[in-house]
Amino acid sequence: MVASTFVDAFRFMPNHSSLLLEKTGETAELAFAALAIGLVIALPLGLWLGHRHRGLLLALGASSLGRALPSVVLIGLGIGILGVGFWNNTVALVVLAIPPILTNTYFAVEGVDRDAVEAARGMGLTEAQILTRVELPLGLPLLLAGLRIAAVFVIATATIAGIFGGGGLGDIMARQITYGLGGVFAAALWVAGLALLTAFALALAQRAASRRMAPRA
Amino acid sequence: MSGWRVAGGGGPVIPNFGQPSACLKHNGWFCTDWLTKHWGDTLQPALIQHIQLTLIAVGIGFGIAFLLALVGFRWRVFDAPLGGFADLLYAIPSLALFQLLVPLTGLTVTTVEIALVSYTLFILYRNIIAGLRAVPDDVLESARGMGLTRLQTFLRVELPLAAPAILAGLRIATVATISIATVAAFLIQDGLGAPIFDAIETPDLFKTELLVTGGLAILLALVADALLAAAQRTLTPWNRLR
Amino acid sequence: MFRKHTRRAAKAAFAISFGVALLIGLAACGGGGSKQTTSSSTSSAAGPKPAITMGTKNFAEEFILGQLYGQALAAKGFKVSYKNDIGSSEVIDTALKSGKINVYPEYTGVIALDLAKVKAPKSAAATYQAAQSFEQQKRGAQLLKPTPFYDSDTFTLLASNARKDGLKTMSDLSKLKSFSYAALPECDQRITCILGMKQIYHLKNITFVPLGKISVYTLLDQHKTFGGDGFSTDPLQLDPKYTTLVDDKHIFGFQNVAPVVKQSLLKGANGTLLENTLNAVSAKLTLPAMQAMNKAYYVDKATPKQIAHGFLAANGLLK
């Protein structure tokens, strides 16, 4: 039974390649929009708090709270407040993206070697300069790790929006009656593929950042 | 049921099913009359089912993950394939995994449990192994120096030191399970997901049911998180920040 | 190096977790399986009664019907378990075929046109006959007496849009260059739905909006679709904000409800009791009755169980 579904999935893919590409595009659009907005909100906040070594409770609490919010509930609230469309799903995903980005950014900056920071301060750099020239570069690997976690999570969760008319690969997964179990499995594989590709790209960025840091640190 | 209305001669008696309050008529966000009226027949059963789903999934997942982690930890050669298998399970979106299991185990709670267990396996396996591996080598050497056997070292040194990491994993796995279990309502009528799905499917969205049931799910997750965090703190009094 | 109490606490914690996990695992294996509601009641004569597994499709009226028929049977001493929200007709038909359920309420037109796929019968009686032949010959099942009420799909749209475009019948839709229609996912494969609009009404450029767990009325209100598949017994059909187009080519068929029952259940004295019980319930299901029950669900937010219980009790069907 599992084997036949596997075969069906791989027969589905070439027959429906344009459909799968279109749906993947929809999921990617939703996920990346949410990640971008989440970054804009959480990154500066995490950087600032981490630099000041304040708000540990906020960073930890955000992480705990973020994990406790079921995506189904957030999407539902989004529909109830904003109506059906692109923005209700995007806002729901933004809420889910913020905690991992915030927490990891905070710890990335907060955990930078204090000696390096003190040395920079001694050299007369302003607080902003310390953040951008010392803490951010040194914390970049951990920050990118957090972004990678958030990205995989948001992409996987974006599929839930498909149950509620949000389109994307989740739409295929929610309509077994139209696409068959092979189609559902194919869509699942493409979601995993999209997530892995994104994670890989960010892992490359993470390695490049670490390599750049090595000689100086 | 009060208020009877006979529809036509010989037709059925249509009872009065009650009148909705003004709050419900306008689809308010928090109609207390609906809440009190349906706590017993809708909310409480769903909450209990959800707790059951979570406990079973985390309990079985922890058992399996612990055994697998012991294997992967003791015989490193198994770690990569076991870890890879757990990763693979996690990569499949919950919506798809639920449906893929239906031909095997039907539209039942068992199907949902198997999927939930797979997700906890990923989180717990990694955390247990990481916790066991994090024990510093010099501590292990001291233990061996004191004359402890391999088994004694494991039970008296490695496990207790790994406990915080394991509990951290348990905490994350429990909260994640509570969250994913809401998606199960796509297949079965069990758990808090069912009233949430019902609320969203109602014309113009049944706001009170969504907010109250969603709030319950979030509350459940936060309470579980807090309880396990407290357990973590009692086991590691010197490391309160984790 | 390590405080003794920490070691012991850790050991205790692990022992307890293992014990709990084991117990839960055993409990799950022992009492697990699908969540089922069974009703206990007094048993009557004529030997052991067969177990009823009542299935229902994926919308509210089906849940109510399932409860109506199920509770009536339970009152007569049958052991009834429910499998709710199984899916569309195609899916629940498979469940009946494979024996996962043995009774479910179905619409005669759906059986005749979408499952049996016969040419559209010209009357409600002919539809019932076609559906009955299908169930008897192909499914080893039988339709009991049909209900007075019918509930068909419709082409529902905002009254303002109907006025603006001058639409009164579904044939008028050919005036539009294109339009969208929202319905459950199985719609685009059904002759009683989009397939019929394309083949029988010869309408082109229809955008199908599959309903994903969101009400068609929500989508209409938010202008996410032009037309949608409201059911004719929905309480919002009575709201002047919405209107329906006349189905002049009758693609939506005749849709009275009849319980589909596996023939094995109808044997002997218990079979007669089952038949009479369900027929007695069906006889009381008039259009006003169903509309009132749908309203109780959607507007008064009662549960299907409560609604069915209230109706059956009021009509003396729970004795």
Contacts of B241 in chain A (CB under 8 A): 56
Q: Do B113 and C285 touch (CB under 8 A)?
A: no
Per-residue pLDDT of B188-241, as tens digits, reads 888 999 999 999 988 888 999 999 999 999 999 999 999 998 988 887 766 545
- Please check whether residue C19 lies inside any domain of the structure: no
Residue C194 has pLDDT above 50, yes or no: yes
Cβ atoms of C227 and C169 closer than 8 Å = no
Q: Which residue of A has its CA nearest to B181?
A: A70
Could you tell me the strand order of the sheet in which C242-245 lies? C206-210, C179-183, C227-228, C155-158, C242-245
Within a domain: C25: no
Q: How far is Cα C92 from Cα C115, in angstroms, rounded to an integer?
A: 11
In this structure, is residue C232 part of a structural domain? yes
Burial class (CB in 10 A: 0-12, 13-18, 19+), B188: buried
Residue C42 has a pLDDT of: 44
Nearest to C214 by CA among A85, A165, A178: A165
Q: What angle do helix axes C4-31 and B207-235 make, rounded to 10 degrees?
A: 140
Its domain, for residue C68, covers: 51-150+255-314
Q: Split chain A (217 residues) into runs of 10 and give each run's mean pLDDT.
A: 82 91 94 95 91 86 89 93 88 93 89 86 86 84 86 90 89 90 93 90 83 59
In a mutational test of the A interface, the residue from C213, C216, C217, C220 whose CB has the highest number of chain A CBs within 10 Å is C213
Instruction: Say whether both C200 and C273 belong to one domain.
Output: no
Name the helix (H) or strand (E) containing B14: strand B13-15
Mean pLDDT within B15-43: 86
The reply to whether C262 and C278 lie within a common domain is yes
pLDDT in tens, C23-61: 554 444 434 444 444 444 444 456 788 999 999 998 999
Interface of C with B in 90-129 (CB under 8 A): 100
Report domain extents, chain B. Answer: 35-235
For residues B59 and A84, the model is more confident at: B59
Report angle CA C74, C77, C78 to the nearest 5 degrees.
65
Q: Is residue C248 less than 8 Å (CB to CB) from chain B?
A: no
Residues in C touching B18 (Cβ below 8 Å): 296, 300, 302
pLDDT, residue C238, reads: 87
Residue C18 lies in a domain: no
Which of these ranges, A213-217, B21-25, B50-54, has the smallest mean pLDDT? A213-217
Q: What is the band of C19 on the pLDDT scale with cuts at 50, 70, 90?
A: low
The answer to whether residues C73 and C106 belong to one domain is yes
Region of residue C131 (left: phi > 0; alpha: psi -120 to 50; beta: else): alpha
Q: Is the pLDDT of residue C1 over 60?
A: no
Flag whether residue A199 sits within 8 Å of chain B, measured between CB atoms: no
Q: What is the nearest CA distance from B131 to chain C, expressed in angstroms? A: 14
- Residue C138's pLDDT band (cuts 50, 70, 90): very high
Q: Which residue has the higher pLDDT, C37 or C100?
A: C100
**Contact state of C35 with B17 under an 8 Å Cβ cutoff:** no
CA distance C218 to chain B (A): 5
As a 3-state breakdown, chain A gives helix, strand, coil percent values, each rounded to 5, of: 90, 0, 10
Give SS3 for B160. Answer: helix
Bridge partners (DSSP) of residue C208 are: C181
CATH architecture of the domain A2-216 equals Orthogonal Bundle (1.10)
* Cβ neighbour number for residue B230 with a 10 Å cutoff: 10
Contacts of C72 (CB under 8 A, 6+ apart): C277, C278, C280, C281, C312, C317, C318
CB-side exposure of B81: number of CA atoms within 13 Å? 4
List the CATH number of the domain containing C57.
3.40.190.10
Q: Which tokens hold the place of C103?
A: 């009774």
Backbone angles phi, psi at A8, to 5 degrees: -60, -40
Tell whether C129 and C58 lie within a shared domain: yes
Q: What pLDDT score does B28 carry?
A: 86
Instruction: Quote the minimal CA–CA distance from A217 to chain B in Å.
Output: 25
Whether residues C138 and C262 share a domain: the answer is: yes
Q: What is the pLDDT of residue B2?
A: 38
Residue C172 shares a structural domain with residue C195 = yes
d(CA C126, CA C131): 9
In a domain, residue C207? The reply is yes
Of C188, C217, C245, the domain-final residue: C245
The continuous run of DSSP H or E covering C268 comes out as helix C268-283
HSE (CB half, 13 Å, CA atoms) of A119? Answer: 9
Helix or strand holding residue B15 (H, E): strand B13-15
Reply yes or no on whether the pLDDT at C14 is more than 60.
Answer: no
Strands C79-83 and C51-55: parallel
Last residue of a domain, one of C215, C245, C275: C245
> How far, in Å, are A121, A181, C99, C143, C281 from residue C106 at the CA level?
77, 25, 16, 9, 14
Find the DSSP H helices in C58-122. Answer: 60-75, 89-97, 108-109
Residue of B nearest to C87 (CA): B187
Tell me the average pLDDT across C202-219.
Answer: 91
Neighbouring residues of C117: CB distance < 8 A, sequence distance ≥ 6: C191
Rounded to two decimals, the pTM is: 0.84
Subunits in contact with chain C (3 or more CB pairs closer than 8 Å): A, B
Indicate the pairing of strand C155-158 with strand C242-245. antiparallel
Give me the CATH number covering residue C194. 3.40.190.120
**Whole-number pLDDT of residue B8:** 44
E-assigned strands of chain C? 51-55, 79-83, 103-107, 141-143, 155-158, 179-183, 206-210, 227-228, 242-245, 257-262
Domain boundary among C245, C264, C297: C245
The tokens describing C226, both together, are: 């032009």
Token readout for C81 is 């378990």
**Architecture of the domain delimited by B35-235:** Orthogonal Bundle (1.10)
pLDDT at B107: 82
Q: Does C288 touch chain B (CB under 8 A)?
A: yes
Q: How many domains does chain C have?
A: 2
Distance, C-alpha A20 to centroid of its chain? 21
**C-alpha torsion sign, points B155, B158, B163, B165:** negative
The set of residues, in sequence order, having a beta carbon less than 8 Å from that of B62 and lying 6+ positions away, is B120, B124, B170, B173, C17, C21
DSSP state of A53: T
The reply to whether C319 falls in a domain is no
- Could you identify the residue written with the tokens 């509601």? C37
Number of H helices, E strands in chain A: 10, 0
Please check whether residue A52 is in contact with residue A190, taking contact to mean a CB–CB distance below 8 angstroms.
Answer: no
Q: Give the residue-averaged pLDDT of C119-134.
A: 93
**CA of residue A40 relative to chain centroid, distance:** 13
Residue C167 lies in a domain: yes
Q: What is the pLDDT of residue C8?
A: 56
Task: Residue C219: list chain A partners with CB under 8 A.
Answer: 84, 165
C32 and B202 within 8 Å at the Cβ level: the answer is no
The first and second tokens of residue C162, run together, are 């109907």
- CB distance from A85 to chain C under 8 Å? yes
The reply to whether A82 touches chain C by the CB within 8 Å rule is no
Q: How far is CA A88 from the centre of its chain?
A: 17
pLDDT at A115: 87
pLDDT of residue B4: 43
The DSSP secondary structure of B184-214, one letter per residue, reads: GGGT-S-STHHHHHHHHHSTT--HHHHHHHH
Burial tier of B92 (Cβ tally within 10 Å: 0-12, 13-18, 19+): buried
Residue B27 zone, left/alpha/beta (φ > 0; ψ -120 to 50; rest):
left
Which of C134, C127, C67, C72 lies closest to C97, judged by CA? C134
